[in-house]
A = this chain, B = another copy of it.
Amino acid sequence: MTEQTAPPFYLDCDTGIDDALALGYMLASPEADLIGIGTVSGNVSAADGARNTLDLLELAGHSGIPVALGAHDPQAGSFGGGAPHVHGRNGVGDVELPASKAELAPETAAELLIRLAHENPGRLRVLAVGPLTNIAEALRLEPELPRLVEDITIMGGAALAPGNITTVAEANIANDPEAAADVFAAEWNVTLVPLDVTMTNVLEESQRQELLSEEHPFPKALGDMLGYYFQFYLNQFGRACSALHDPLAAAIAVGGIQVDTAPVVHVEVDATSGPGRGQTICDMRGRYMGYPEQPGARCRVVLSLAEEFPPHLVDTLRSGWAQSGREPEELALAAG
């Protein structure tokens, strides 16, 4: 499939180490045409996430893709400072990326999403791997958005798995439950990639070494960042490895990896101030009957994969850089 026929994607992210992996996957995959990116506060501030995104695009040789700054604060309250213990002080594992000279797009993330949806009516696909603040804002600004876009894939939440930021809540959803509630209530087709499947498909040290062994500075930088990420997951898994939240959502959105159990069910977000705040309440009561159809449900919740994800991710991230705008040697020079 050529870039012309690949579906256009808008990516909303809070870059972030696993956001960087998702970005790399979208750039490397021939099945996706990434035409715009918005950032939101989450792993880092929206501004730091935009800076990281611009630098990563430059390093990958894709500096022409517009990056728009999105919301700094969630709908309720204010940005809590991110997760430096997971993603490093700079959000990319304290790896120093060569600074891009590219400028931010002259519109907000929500405005960029809406513009791209109008320019690609019925074709634009949305991949959201951060808090859903920008997406909810776009829904408010353009109520027709659900009919303008093809679908939305969201990394977030937990269906039958434990949470990661509270007992039952996952970080992306918990960072802005009100926005998430709006997004899940909108009338569009959602694919949710929750902790159930992102915590059970794990990248190992040998696979990180494959990225580090690449000559191109982009996959090498991803391997470097993962060193920091692996340290955080040492306490989660008992060994140096990592979950693959955002890149798995990217691969499922793009169709690069096939899902196994993925029922379409009703999903509601707990936006109370109680102990369940930020939980994605997915109606999995049909599990004992093989998940019969739920009339009116629009959210496909991915619980398991039909194939191994980590090797596919590594293969994809090692390829795809030959067609970049700049030569690897030039990029290596810039990176030095």
Contact = CB atoms under 8 A, between A and B. Distances in A.
B162 A236 contact: no
A282 B237 contact: no
A150 to B, nearest CB: 28
Interface string A268-282: 101111111001011
A335 interface: no
A209 B285 CA distance: 28
Given A160-B160, A162-B283, A283-B162, A237 B288 contact: yes
Q: Chain A contact residues (Cβ within 8 angstroms of B): what range?
A: 20 to 34
Nearest to A200: B288
Contacts of A274: 270-272, 274, 276
A81 interface: no
A163 B266 CA distance: 14
A184 to B, nearest CB: 11
23 contacts: A160-B160, A162-B287, A167-B268, A167-B281, A167-B282, A167-B283, A167-B285, A168-B276, A236-B288, A236-B289, A237-B288, A238-B289, A268-B275, A270-B274, A270-B276, A272-B275, A272-B276, A274-B274, A274-B276, A275-B281, A276-B276, A276-B279, A276-B281
Which 7 pairs show the lowest CB-CB distances between chains A and B?
A: A272-B274, A276-B276, A162-B284, A162-B285, A272-B272, A167-B283, A268-B275
Given A167-B284, A236-B288, A276-B279, 5 more contacts: A162-B287, A167-B283, A270-B276, A272-B274, A276-B281
